[in-house]
């Protein structure tokens, strides 16, 4: 029996960088500096330079990165934040951490990201809600339509926070995501394109004052040690994870290129299958955190692939606005038809930099075998 094909494999990424990671860990352990030391400071500088922004602030998780970004913009109890329901629940949890309420906006059916036209409708239909910000999610590694979103945001006096948790290295017209909004939030969860061996996050911005506010918020509101100028929290990227991420950052571009090559194989081989492959807008560099197809018989296809020892996942099976914790939150007028349709059809195929092309070909063959009446 052939070995299983995993949907993702963070252990394979560790093995690919084993020597660099081991040296990074040893360096930290020998240093005696374990919290907010030279590794975090160096990684902040290197990650900011990679993205082309001026400031980066390491925090404990991607969720905290979003929450602290919103808090730095003054979002708090009684405020409302516009975002999508088709996202990881962390996006919406971060809004709740601030005491604010989400207003859910529908997605563009091509990219699965925030639909600018529906965003404009949601702002007009917000009534007496105190809209304070927009969170644009670059889902699956495909950038949201930032030009249109920022235009709407400027006309309505709303700052934009980019949720880049799945989009390390993705770009629009040559500019990396993370450099468009007032602030942007990254996650370094182990399965991300740039993943730690544990958790971690980063807030990036080119605004010096916002960066300073995030630095204060992440550590008790301190400017001077033990003196809190504002109410803060404890959300610090630790030295070990920063060192590991520094070791892996130089390979991010090549790892993303590997993802893109594998995605191209899927694109080519699945042309005649009974599925829709991801569509990429002009000017977009897709980071392919996930390779997400649409299938009318999604559940049957998933069972077929499981029987062939091929793992898949659904990102995400239940829109946030339909989950028990968030039922009753505001949904834009007209509802979220594209969101609710998408979750019945999406399926994430195996994709990670170390995946063999032969395994991608095997997955594609099984999908084609499932498709007796092929397109065309």
Write the Ramachandran bin of 222: left for phi over 0, alpha for psi from -120 to 50, otherwise beta: beta
What was the pLDDT predicted at 40? 98
What was the pLDDT predicted at 3? 79
In the CATH scheme, what is the code of domain 252-369? 3.90.1150.10
| Domain 10-250 CATH (choose: 3.40.640.10, 2.30.110.10, 3.20.20.150, 3.40.50.720) | 3.40.640.10
What was the pLDDT predicted at 330? 87
Q: Are 94 and 70 in contact (CB under 8 A)?
A: yes
What was the pLDDT predicted at 373? 60
pLDDT digits (tens, 9 = 90+) for 123-163: 999 988 999 999 999 999 999 999 999 999 999 999 999 99
With a cut of 90, say whether residue 253 has pLDDT above it: yes
Q: Are 215 and 221 in contact (CB under 8 A)?
A: no
pLDDT digits (tens, 9 = 90+) for 192-202: 999 999 999 99
What was the pLDDT predicted at 376? 43
- Report the SS3 class of residue 223: strand
Between the CA of residue 95 and those of 60, 121, 140, 199, 210, what are the distances in Å? 16, 21, 20, 19, 18
Average pLDDT, rounded, for the chain: 96
What was the pLDDT predicted at 242? 98
Counted residue by residue, the chain has a size of: 376
**Domain layout of the chain by residue ranges:** 10-250, 252-369
> Residue 6, class by beta-carbon neighbours within 10 Å (0-12 exposed, 13-18 middle, 19+ buried)?
middle
- Report the SS3 class of residue 141: helix
pLDDT digits (tens, 9 = 90+) for 32-64: 999 999 999 999 999 999 999 999 999 999 999
Show the DSSP H helices in 235-370 as ranges. 239-248, 252-269, 298-307, 337-342, 357-369
Does the fold of domain 252-369 match that of domain 10-250? no
Average pLDDT for residues 245-273, to the nearest whole number? Answer: 98
Calculate what percentage of the chain has a pLDDT beyond 90.
Answer: 96
With a cut of 90, say whether residue 1 has pLDDT above it: no
The pTM assigned to this predicted structure is: 0.97
């Amino acid at each position: 029996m052939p070995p299983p094909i995993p949907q993702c494999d963070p252990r394979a990424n560790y093995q690919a960088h084993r020597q660099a990671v081991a040296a990074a860990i040893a360096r930290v352990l020998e240093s005696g500096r374990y919290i907010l030391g030279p590794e975090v400071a160096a990684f902040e500088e290197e990650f900011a330079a990679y993205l082309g922004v001026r400031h980066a602030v390491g925090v404990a998780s991607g969720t905290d990165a979003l929450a602290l970004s919103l808090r730095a913009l003054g979002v708090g109890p009684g405020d409302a934040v516009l975002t999508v329901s088709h996202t990881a629940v962390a996006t919406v949890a971060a809004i709740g951490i601030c005491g604010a309420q989400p207003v859910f906006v529908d997605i563009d059916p091509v990219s699965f990201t925030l639909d600018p036209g529906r965003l404009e409708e949601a702002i007009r239909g917000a009534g007496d809600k105190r809209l304070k910000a927009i969170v644009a999610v670059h889902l699956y590694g495909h950038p949201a339509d930032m030009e249109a979103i920022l235009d709407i945001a400027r006309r309505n006096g709303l700052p934009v926070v980019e949720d880049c948790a799945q989009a390390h290295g993705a770009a629009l017209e040559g500019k990396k995501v993370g450099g468009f909004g007032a602030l942007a939030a990254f996650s370094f969860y182990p399965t991300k394109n740039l993943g730690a061996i544990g958790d971690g996050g980063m807030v990036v911005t080119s605004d010096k004052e916002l960066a300073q506010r995030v630095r204060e918020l992440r550590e008790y509101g301190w400017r001077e040690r033990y003196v809190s100028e504002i109410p803060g929290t404890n959300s610090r990227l630790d030295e070990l994870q920063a060192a590991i991420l520094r070791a892996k950052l130089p390979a991010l571009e090549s790892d993303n290129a590997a993802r893109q090559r594998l995605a191209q194989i899927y694109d080519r081989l699945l042309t005649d299958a009974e599925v829709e492959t991801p569509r990429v807008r002009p000017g977009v560099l897709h980071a392919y955190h996930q390779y997400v197809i649409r299938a009318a018989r999604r559940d049957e296809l998933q069972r077929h692939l499981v029987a062939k020892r091929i793992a898949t996942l659904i990102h995400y099976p239940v829109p946030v606005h339909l989950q028990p914790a968030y039922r009753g939150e505001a949904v834009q007028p007209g509802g979220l038809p594209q969101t609710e349709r998408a979750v019945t059809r999406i399926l994430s195929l195996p994709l990670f930099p170390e995946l063999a092309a032969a395994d991608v070909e095997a997955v594609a063959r099984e999908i084609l075998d499932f498709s007796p009446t092929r397109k065309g």
